[in-house]
Amino acid sequence: MPGAHPITPVIRPVRGGDIRALLDIYAPYVESSAVSFEIDVPSADAFAARVERCRRGWA
């Protein structure tokens, strides 16, 4: 598209400040689908702990 500015995606490690946004993305899947196999949306602290466990395993 002429004049359009291309978007360059950036992939980076998760940061503590990302938790709320990630949980906002995840919550609708918990609340409205069977995709997550969860019944209740985890708390921000519980979700942060999960992210940290995963981050340590991949860092």
Write down the domain spans for the chain. 16-58
Classify residue 42 by burial, with Cβ atoms within 10 Å: 0-12, 13-18, 19+.
Answer: middle
* pLDDT above 70 (res 2): no
pLDDT value for 39: 93
* pLDDT above 90 (res 1): no
* pLDDT above 80 (res 59): no
Predicted TM-score (pTM) of the model is 0.74
Encode pLDDT of 12-51 as tens digits: 989 989 999 999 999 999 999 989 899 999 999 999 999 9
pLDDT value for 44: 96
Instruction: Tell which residue, 11, 10, 16, 12, has the closest CA to residue 52.
Output: 16
